Amino acid sequence: MTDANGVVRNVIEEFRSINQSVPQERVLLKAAAEGRRLIKLRDGSEHLMDTDELNEMINLLPSWMKWVVRVPLLLAYEPLTGVVKVLGSEWDEKAVRRLVGIDKEEPLRLYHLERLITRFSSLVFIIFEVDVARLVGVGEDVPPKGFG
């Protein structure tokens, strides 16, 4: 096994482990506000969304969004680039952008993520994404040794 292969395997395993505690299911904001606050996570555990946070989110968003936005919000953070992506529908992304006060052209960054977590800690889940080729220092056009 080459060093790059070992690094890749270790990184993949670490992120797989970290990403197990993410929602297996997500519910409409409206359903959560009406009492469906307990959701299952991939690792088999359950997570309870906070009523006050749900009410605050509903008050900050246009009323129609509760029919299309799903919670908890699921975001992907790429630590090497600092970019944050909203995983879900275009409405989930519009809600996140509205909650942090940015328009569609501005990229979501770590400090936006911090704002969301501070206000809505029970309504936001983060997964980590890493471009493994970039991590091990391999160009995009050239696969690591042993991978092609």
In a domain, 85, yes or no: yes
pLDDT score for 137:
62
Place of tokens 């969304």: 49
In a domain, 29, yes or no: yes
pLDDT score for 68:
97
In a domain, 84, yes or no: yes
pLDDT score for 3:
64
In a domain, 129, yes or no: yes
Question: In terms of residue numbers, what domain contains 97?
Answer: 3-135
DSSP annotation string for 48-96: E--HHHHHHHHHHS-GGGGGT-EESEEEEEETTTTEEEEES-HHHHHHH
If one counts the domains in the chain, the total is: 1
pLDDT score for 38:
96
Separation CA 45–CA 62 (nearest Å): 32
In a domain, 142, yes or no: no
pTM: 0.76
Residues of the chain with pLDDT under 70: 1-5, 7-8, 11-12, 15-20, 130-148
pLDDT score for 18:
66
